[in-house]
A and B are shown apart, each in its own frame.
Chain A
Amino acid sequence: MSYFQKEFECMPREKIRELQSERLVWQVKRMYERVELFRHRMDELGLTPDDIKGVDDLPRLPFSYKQDLRDYYPYGLFAEPLKNIVRTHASSGTTGKQIVVGYTKNDLDMWADCMARQIYAAGGDENDIVQVSYGYGLFTGGLGAHGGAEKIGATVIPMSSGNTQRQINTMVDFGSTILCCTPSYAMYLGEAVNEAGLRDKIKLKAGIFGAEPWTEDMRRAIEDSLGLKAYDVYGLSEIMGPGVSYECQCQNGMHVNEDMFIAEIIDPDTGEVLPEGEQGELVFTTITKEGFPVIRYRTRDICSLNYEQCECGRTFVRMNKPSGRTDDMLIIRGVNVFPSQIEEVLLKIGEGITPNYQIIIDRENNTDTLDVNVEMTESLFADDVKSIERIENRITSDLRSILGLGAKVHLVNPKTIARSEGKAKRVIDNRNLHD
């Protein structure tokens, strides 16, 4: 069994708690001084940094939310001046405006540690050739995996996503041994490799897959088609990016990097911390992050935490694969999508009146499909085909620019979108993504 940083990954639980307490006290004090929103929320609760003496006091601290990032867009929640921020990443918010996060040099270093631990846990080291087929750019996937692979001294192939033929040629020619991408893209690559009869020519031994929900059936299908062992990695840009938690060879839950993040499970309705092992909303506090730290950030992911020691020797708590969300966020081709974003586009097109709509998500050939049915209204309708096609095209291109995703738009007859109790069902997800 090999560890990238055994001193942390296998630290006794009491020590982890001590370290967390020490770092939490530091972070709370620092954020109170530097982040106006946090100080304001503390003041409202009548709390001062001195009240927070360790992890036991964590439940007293105020929550933070995705909406905060929108309200303080772009830099309002950073705890370092911009001269110390060396990188930003962004993802879509619940509506048109994106959310921005920032990293100091030290943050990037610790993020690289997170992903390095994942690659080690998947049996990788400096001898490996890591093909990173997550998208590079504002999305944290590509550069996140890249940083970890470089940190361990592996040979990195910064492929980014797309261009399947080139992905496969590279995989064969360069002799890639570890693949990092979304699970649905891994499924797709697996099929393409087999169709091309190249299964014997690839040398993959491990795959690190995340950024979207997937099932155990998908894991087996990927492992069979690419001849590798598939690992689940979890993350979100508000906390860090991929590598917040990582799977070991036991493939039985993802170890949370507890020297950097404190995980809690709460009742999403009451905000109360739930007893150990119970399922609820996952909440993270970043205790080492400098650029964009958060206290008790509501991930909206539903899962449970397992504190039993893992057979791999790691003592970090394991979270199971999220079984759902407490909000209506969808993950389509690895991209976070909120129905409210689609509604916003339609509101604009309908000149203030949102036409009735329905979002249908499916999976064809291992690729997510997004169809948006929009009921025709008198204000959208015109006597000529060209005008209607123009509206259809405008909706499609507005959706593409807001979501960063291609959607098929269909104008349908009024009152054809099924309603229950007078309310239209807005989202139909036919993918069966949870076990």
Chain B
Amino acid sequence: MVKQLSVFVENKPGRLMEILRALADNMIDIKALSLADTTEFGIIRMIVSDADKAKKVLNNDGVVVRICNVLAVAVNDEPGALMNTFEILSENKISVEYMYAFGEKLGNSSVIAIRTDDMDLAAERLTDGGVTVLEGDDISEM
């Protein structure tokens, strides 16, 4: 499993930019990013080169951040590969809360970040089913 940063942002012009600037100024690389939005606020979810450092940097700027674990799964870049991954989750009645893709590939694989209702079970069953579940070190080398 890998560490993910979740950041609260109010829906106002410039808010997202401030966060990105703070990360850029501290040479923190964003590996994957998604934004969940409502009419009033959004949650930015990110996987970065150094999650703990990023949290410190953002906290210093008064930004509210939480760190939680997500599954980073390598999926072969071919039709049906993603479906196989989700078939395993579905068969085990594991519910997916959200997912998003990494910007870069790992070899010939795309990397997907997944948050489920039972993270440990998901990691175990995916590994048993032959899916590559990545760890923090794999990601920082990307």
> A382 to B67, alpha carbons, bound, how many Å?
10
Q: Find out whether the CB atom of A413 lies under 8 angstroms from the CB atom of B66.
A: no
The interface residues of chain A lying within 8 Å CB-to-CB of B63 are 413-414
Given contacts A411-B10, A413-B10, A416-B10, are A385 and B64 in contact (CB under 8 A)?
no
Alpha-carbon distance between A79 and B39 when the two chains are bound, in angstroms = 54
- Determine the distance from Cα of A196 to Cα of B4 in the docked complex, in whole angstroms: 57
Q: Are A381 and B10 in contact (CB under 8 A)?
A: no
Q: Which residues from chain B contact A389 at a C-beta distance below 8 Å? A: 38
Indicate whether A383 reaches chain B with its CB closer than 8 angstroms. yes
A415 proximal to B (CB < 8 A): yes
Within 8 A of B (CB), among A363-402: 376-378, 381-385, 388-389, 392
Contact A376-B38, Cβ < 8 Å, known A383-B6, A413-B9, A416-B10: no
9 new A-B contacts at CB < 8 Å, known A381-B64, A383-B45: A376-B64, A381-B6, A381-B8, A384-B98, A385-B36, A388-B43, A413-B12, A413-B63, A416-B10
Provide the bound-state CA to CA distance between A382 and B9, in Å: 12
Can you pick out 15 interface pairs between chain A and chain B where the beta carbons lie within 8 Å of each other?
A: A376-B8, A376-B64, A378-B64, A378-B66, A381-B8, A383-B68, A384-B36, A384-B98, A385-B43, A388-B41, A410-B40, A411-B41, A413-B15, A414-B62, A414-B64
Which residues from A are CB-within-8-Å of B15?
413
- Pick the residue among A376, A381, A384, A411 that contacts B97 (CB under 8 A): A384
Chain A CB within 10 Å, residue with most, of B9, B12, B64, B65: B64
**What separation, in Å, do the CA atoms of A342 and B15 have in the docked complex?**
27
**Cα distance A178–B94 when bound, in Å?**
66
Residue of B9, B43, B63, B98 most packed against chain A (CB within 10 A): B43
Which chain A residues lie closer than 8 Å to B4 at the CB level? 383
B66 surroundings in chain A (CB, below 8 A): 378, 381-383
A412 is an interface residue with CB less than 8 A from chain B = yes
Q: Which residues of B contact A392 (CB under 8 A)?
A: 40
Min CB distance, B4 to chain A, in Å? 8
Assembly CA distance A411 to B15 (angstroms): 14
Taken together as a complex, chains A and B put the C-alpha atoms of A381 and B6 apart, in Å, by: 9
The CA-CA distance from A381 to B59 in the complex, in Å, is 13
Q: In angstroms, how far is the closest chain B Cβ from the Cβ of A8?
A: 56
Q: Please measure, in the bound complex, the distance between the C-alpha atom of A115 and the C-alpha atom of B38, giving whole angstroms.
A: 50
List B76-99 residues whose CB lies under 8 Å from chain A.
97-98
Determine the distance from Cα of A377 to Cα of B65 in the docked complex, in whole angstroms: 9
Secondary structure class of chain B's binding surface, majority of residues: strand
Q: Is the CB of A413 within 8 A of B43?
A: no
Q: List residues of B (31-57) whose CB comes within 8 Å of A's CBs.
A: 36, 38, 40-41, 43, 45
Q: Are B43 and A412 in contact (CB under 8 A)?
A: no
A221 to B40, CA, bound (A): 36
Q: How far is the CA of A412 from the CA of B65 in the complex (A)?
A: 14
Report the minimal beta-carbon distance from B32 to chain A, rounded to whole angstroms: 15
Nearest-Cβ distance from residue A287 to partner chain B, whole angstroms: 53
Known contacts A381-B8, A383-B68, A384-B97, A413 near B62 by CB under 8 Å: yes
Is there contact, CB below 8 Å, between A412 and B10? yes
| Complex contacts, A414 vs chain B, CB 8 Å | 62-64
Q: Across the interface, which residues of A come within 8 angstroms of B38, CB to CB?
A: 385, 389
Contact with A along B90-114 (1 / 0, CB 8 A): 0000000110000000000000000
**Whose C-beta in chain B lies nearest to the C-beta of A379?**
B64
How near does chain B come to A411, taking the closest CB pair, in angstroms? 6
Report the separation of the CA atoms of residues A410 and B9 in the bound assembly, to the nearest whole angstrom. 12
Q: How far apart sit A383 and B63, CA to CA, in the bound complex (Å)?
A: 14
Q: Which residues of chain B are within 8 angstroms of A412 by Cβ–Cβ distance? A: 10
Closest 3 CB pairs of A and B: A415-B62, A383-B6, A414-B62
**Contacting residues, chain B, for A415 (C-beta < 8 A):** 62
Within the complex, the shortest CB–CB distance from A355 to chain B, in Å, comes to 10
| Contact indicator A411/B62 (Cβ below 8 Å) | no
- Distance A415 CA – B65 CA, assembled complex (angstroms): 14
Q: How far is the CA of A377 from the CA of B41 in the complex (A)?
A: 14
The residue of chain B having its C-beta at the shortest distance from the C-beta of A382 within the complex is: B66
Residues in B with CB closer than 8 Å to A382 are: 66
In the complex, are the beta carbons of A383 and B43 less than 8 A apart?
yes
Query: Bound complex: CA of A96 vs CA of B90, how far in Å?
Result: 48
Residues of B within 8 A of A376 (CB): 8, 10, 41, 64
Mark A400-430 against chain B: 1 for CB-CB distance below 8 A, else 0: 0000000000111111100000000000000
Give bound CA distance, A414 to B58, whole Å: 11
Q: 1/0 per position for A280-304, CB-CB distance to B under 8 A?
A: 0000000000000000000000000
Contacts of B68 in A (CB 8 A): 383
Give the docked Cα–Cα distance between A410 and B38 (Å): 12
Determine the distance from Cα of A412 to Cα of B63 in the docked complex, in whole angstroms: 11
